[in-house]
Chain A
């Protein structure tokens, strides 16, 4: 397919930094945030793709936005395997998705009483998804401030951020208002949703994640390929709006 209409900037260090300028590094703790953008090793120096995203949040506040800029980048980083969630528009996805009826708890049963129950019974709290994320961010930042001399999560170095996320995932962090584990799994789910959903929802710009894994997207017709065994499926992805791409 030669009708791939995406713009691919030259792979330079400059575009890596440019691709991330929307992380507001100008606010307090800038030194830490800048440090967080330095590639940890040579593999990480592969350039980010796509254009800088000038999306401005309407749901998240500046503090939350800054947290997400760091945490989402840890969850699905840019590396030698392919694009990171941030450069594909994860933050725009998250901000827009939190404003859907789904994130407000539209399809969840939200009536009390809210009893403690074994994990096999699923989430039994009263917060809808958008508040799980918000309350979780506030609690994670408060935890960081108490442990690291007033620093926010985004101020910490990458290694520390990864340790904290791992501790939250494993249920080893205790927050006042929310289960750290629930917060983590909700954030991870949403980050993955941003990465893999159709680009119309704000993430997965230019189908970057689909190209990486070899997903044809909205093709929806594979009858000719059911019994082909000897070569990889060749037809590039297409999105909801009819944009086409090629696999890497």
Chain B
């Protein structure tokens, strides 16, 4: 017999960014909230404390802050007729676990989507005609606009203490920021961080090419700061341990630093860690959720009844839970029916590395996850897609999140991987090289989706989530185009040597290489319940007391890191729940 807990107003699955935001918003509204987190509790002290936190072997080899794939992972295949195999070792993407989730080990690049990113299909059709969209490409407009989200982008940036420079303020272009961005209602919470060498040189290279460089909005505080919740942050000291690591310094925004200390003091909030949610329980007609079932820290089957269920796990695992629970209908690529799993998309990331002589003090060990410089000249409406030959766009940036030698020292082309020649090269390169990257959008396709694997099981006996994904010609072309532009731009810096890794024409998705944890889609928001899992308020079309915030809601992915958009969508959803749903529970949009 399962243990049955007392009913609560809302149960939250997962204690990352979206879970922490929702716990804050719903306890503000006077609800009793229980949060179930599959991993351990984590706080800046003692879990991220210096110096233990920045042990590269523990952080980047043993991956102590990331999800153990032995417990839960996915299977992956390139095509619908292939047999998927497990993602056995962490590579292409790195989901987190524990309190803070991926929001504790992210880098901190904190962008807003462009206004045109919300209308990719209609804009593309309008500018280039319907035929410009390749067959099989399944892009959709977001069911909301940039203007709908602006107050929420803004609020999340202030919660994070995001450091940057506005380019468009209340409709007016202002110097120093991105002139192509959507209009902001006020300046960033903090001014930009200082530029390390690679970023400083990026301005030179980008200006020389006629581009419009601006500071990457960084959720890494540039000065002492107190956020709207009264949480204090300190200036980033460029320690070089953002990605893979929790912040030792209260500088990188995270649920742990920016929201949790407030939540922990709240009476209406209860956090249960090592609580593995197995499924959402539904009524017999599958139209209402009654709560969730989970394994508690001792492994006991436990039921948590609740009026409202918020799936706040990492995007992939939100979709997994929906499929395991029977919320909505599994997407079928043959008939193009069903909504859960539809429109899985990713991120199109490639790198150009540059190597210099010993007079160039690039100091790769100095790092800041979200800082640097970037251009939007090849993104959004700035890009002539007809000339470039692909749908979407991309940014080129200088980023130096910081690296130590365990994480790898890039070497120039032709250098062997071991022996004296390798030693000579790492010695020469470590302090005197840096890289620029291109980060491209990734469109959605009819044959890129998530479903349940027929063979492999997780540590709890449930079918693994199966990812069907490969690069399409559109993204391969985009990669080649963007890497060529980045390479051209870099030449003015006259490095001794360069190497770029643009995708090759016959190349396939390689899960062994890290490319970003920006896994998107699978439970997307939309206007049509036949082609989307969630309505414009991230509410399940099928089970109206289930809400599913996260990058799973993106119909396709734009060129930016998703966290800014995920935070804004969550605050947008919270507003709808507080102002509409709680007064009159039920579907907020009629199907």
A53 interface contact, C-beta 8 A: no
Give the docked Cα–Cα distance between A201 and B417 (Å). 23
CB distance from B400 to the nearest CB of A (A): 10
Asked whether A225 lies within 8 Å of B85 as measured between CB atoms, the reply is: no
Which residues of chain A have C-beta atoms less than 8 A from B431's C-beta? 213-214, 232-233
Asked whether B56 lies within 8 Å of A196 as measured between CB atoms, the reply is: yes
Which residues of chain A have C-beta atoms less than 8 A from B406's C-beta? 192-193, 196-197
CB distance from A94 to the nearest CB of B (A): 13
Asked whether A82 lies within 8 Å of B88 as measured between CB atoms, the reply is: no
Asked whether A74 lies within 8 Å of B419 as measured between CB atoms, the reply is: yes
Which residues of chain A have C-beta atoms less than 8 A from B405's C-beta? 192, 195-196, 209-210, 213, 215
Asked whether B363 lies within 8 Å of A82 as measured between CB atoms, the reply is: no
Which residues of chain B have C-beta atoms less than 8 A from A195's C-beta? 405
Asked whether B90 lies within 8 Å of A121 as measured between CB atoms, the reply is: no
CB distance from A174 to the nearest CB of B (A): 21
Which residues of chain B have C-beta atoms less than 8 A from A102's C-beta? 61-62
| Partner among B56, B238, B241, B358 whose Cβ is within 8 Å of the Cβ of A197 | B56
Which residues of chain A have C-beta atoms less than 8 A from B404's C-beta? 196, 215, 217
Residue tally, chain A, CB below 8 Å to B: 64
**Interface residues in B78-94 (C-beta closer than 8 Å to A):** 78, 83, 85-91
| Partner among B50, B85, B366, B420 whose Cβ is within 8 Å of the Cβ of A222 | B366
Which residues of chain B have C-beta atoms less than 8 A from A188's C-beta? 417-418
Asked whether B68 lies within 8 Å of A81 as measured between CB atoms, the reply is: no
Which residues of chain A have C-beta atoms less than 8 A from B419's C-beta? 74-77, 162
Which residues of chain A have C-beta atoms less than 8 A from B581's C-beta? none
Give the docked Cα–Cα distance between A169 and B73 (Å). 29
Which residues of chain A have C-beta atoms less than 8 A from B491's C-beta? none
Which residues of chain B have C-beta atoms less than 8 A from A165's C-beta? 418
**Interface residues in A71-86 (C-beta closer than 8 Å to B):** 74-77, 79-82
Which residues of chain A have C-beta atoms less than 8 A from B195's C-beta? 226-227
Asked whether A229 lies within 8 Å of B361 as measured between CB atoms, the reply is: yes
Which residues of chain A have C-beta atoms less than 8 A from B83's C-beta? 115
**Interface residues in A144-196 (C-beta closer than 8 Å to B):** 162, 165, 169, 188, 191-193, 195-196
Say which one of A6-14, A20-28, A58-66, A106-114 lies at the interface with B: A106-114
Residue tally, chain B, CB below 8 Å to A: 66
Can you name the residue of chain B whose Cβ is closest to the Cβ of A197? B57
Give the docked Cα–Cα distance between A75 and B90 (Å). 25
Asked whether B417 lies within 8 Å of A198 as measured between CB atoms, the reply is: no
Asked whether A220 lies within 8 Å of B417 as measured between CB atoms, the reply is: no
B194 interface contact, C-beta 8 A: yes
A216 interface contact, C-beta 8 A: yes
Give the docked Cα–Cα distance between A210 and B406 (Å). 11
Give the docked Cα–Cα distance between A109 and B85 (Å). 11
Which residues of chain A have C-beta atoms less than 8 A from B76's C-beta? 121
Give the docked Cα–Cα distance between A218 and B245 (Å). 14
CB distance from A227 to the nearest CB of B (A): 5
A1 interface contact, C-beta 8 A: no
Asked whether B62 lies within 8 Å of A223 as measured between CB atoms, the reply is: no
Asked whether B363 lies within 8 Å of A222 as measured between CB atoms, the reply is: yes
Which residues of chain A have C-beta atoms less than 8 A from B61's C-beta? 102, 193, 197
Asked whether A118 lies within 8 Å of B508 as measured between CB atoms, the reply is: yes
**Interface residues in B36-73 (C-beta closer than 8 Å to A):** 50-52, 54-57, 61-63, 66, 68-70, 73
Which residues of chain B have C-beta atoms less than 8 A from A100's C-beta? 62
Give the docked Cα–Cα distance between A231 and B194 (Å). 18
CB distance from B423 to the nearest CB of A (A): 5
Q: Which 3 A-B pairs have the closest CB atoms?
A: A196-B405, A220-B239, A222-B366
